[in-house]
Amino acid sequence: MKAIVVTDQAAGTAGMTLVERPEPQAAINDVLVQVHASGFVPTELTWPSTWTDRLGRDRTPSIPGHELAGVVTALGYGTTGLSVGQRVFGLADWYRDGTLAEYVAIEARNLAPLPGDVDFTAGASLPISGLTAWQGLFQHGRLQAGQSVLAHGAAGAVGSTVTQLAREAGAYVIGTGRGADRQTVLDFGAKEFVDLENDVLEDVGRVDLVFDVIGGDIGKRSARLIRTGGTLVSIVGPTEARPAAGLAVDFVVESDRAQLNEIVQRVRDGRLRTNIGNVSTLDDAVAALNPTARIKGKTIIRIRP
């Protein structure tokens, strides 16, 4: 099968190559999925799990990509809950070969059914951004209707999903980003926009929840905006500063079938819009994942036309 592989961490996305690899086999509780579309997060190439297994042993050449939509073609021993020919989408294990390939072996529990009225490109764009937003807001942030949310990077794949889910849950959303992102962020449902390059972040006042996808100085300043009992949620590692009278939570997203079902239902009925900036083929994936200009939204690789 054709697949993108990486062998050199220092090379980053420039070190990606398109090669022929053996088709994977479905292990116990796995399914084999013919991948139709794959998502990719550039920070994957900084994660230890891309380069080593759970025991710290080198596992290169490894196949990156962890989001997928496709069709089940085989079941591993003991696998239940899915069937051959079923359309699925989900989030692959961090420590296993990923989804920038024609086939992937993946635990069945990491997948959810993809309804026939949601195309594979949209399906592949949902798992990381959707699950990250859902878990950060509702599991870790314990968001309630009527609360205020400061969503950093609100024009990006994660931030735009945070904005939409928080607004639907009845929160007042303030989005941040670059000045050029203002209208995009407001269109996704934010009530206010903060240009991080030209506006004063502290002018937003106190908020109940900050969803931080940036870290660094912005993360530290955001901690001071949390009102009593509020939460700073980070997906960029442990926070350097903690709220004086609130919680700080950092987490790594996990696959969850029930949450995937909730997310895709919102896409079906129009409550949630995907944020796809570029779609490319597997043959052109190396170039697409090494853009020369900033791409708004998520890049999706169509494995099958």
Q: Is 172 exposed, middle or buried (0-12, 13-18, 19+ CB in 10 A)?
A: middle
Angle at the Cα of 305 (from 96 to 303), degrees rounded to 5? 15
Q: Are 163 and 153 in contact (CB under 8 A)?
A: no
Instruction: Using pLDDT thresholds of 50, 70 and 90, give the confidence band for residue 294.
Output: confident
Return the pLDDT at 42. 84
Tens digits of residue pLDDT in 159-168: 999 999 999 9
pLDDT score, position 283: 96
CA–CA distance, 248 with 229 (Å, rounded to integer): 11
Helix (H, G, I), strand (E, B) or coil at 9: helix
Indicate the residue type of 220: K
Confidence band, pLDDT 50/70/90 cuts, at residue 293? confident
3-state secondary structure of 238: coil
What are the residues facing 300 on neighbouring strands?
A: 39, 279
pLDDT band at 292 (very low <50, low <70, confident <90, very high): confident
In order, the DSSP letters of 118-185 are: S-HHHHHHSHHHHHHHHIIIIIIS---TT-EEEETTTTSHHHHHHHHHHHHTT-EEEEEE-GGGHHHH
Span 149-160, pLDDT tens digits: 999 999 999 999
Q: What is the pLDDT of residue 176?
A: 98
Strand partners, 193: 175
- Phi, psi for residue 69 in degrees, rounded to 5: -140, 135
Domain boundaries, the chain: 2-126+274-302, 129-250
- The end-to-end CA distance of the chain, in Å, is 15
Helix (H, G, I), strand (E, B) or coil at 81: coil
pTM of the model: 0.96
Q: Which fold does the domain 2-126+274-302 belong to in CATH?
A: Quinone Oxidoreductase; Chain A, domain 1 (3.90.180)
- Residue 305 — pLDDT band, cuts 50, 70, 90? confident
pLDDT surpassing 90 at residue 239: no
Q: Decide if domain 129-250 falls under CATH 3.40.50.720.
A: yes
Band of pLDDT at residue 240, cut at 50, 70 and 90: confident
pLDDT of residue 148: 98
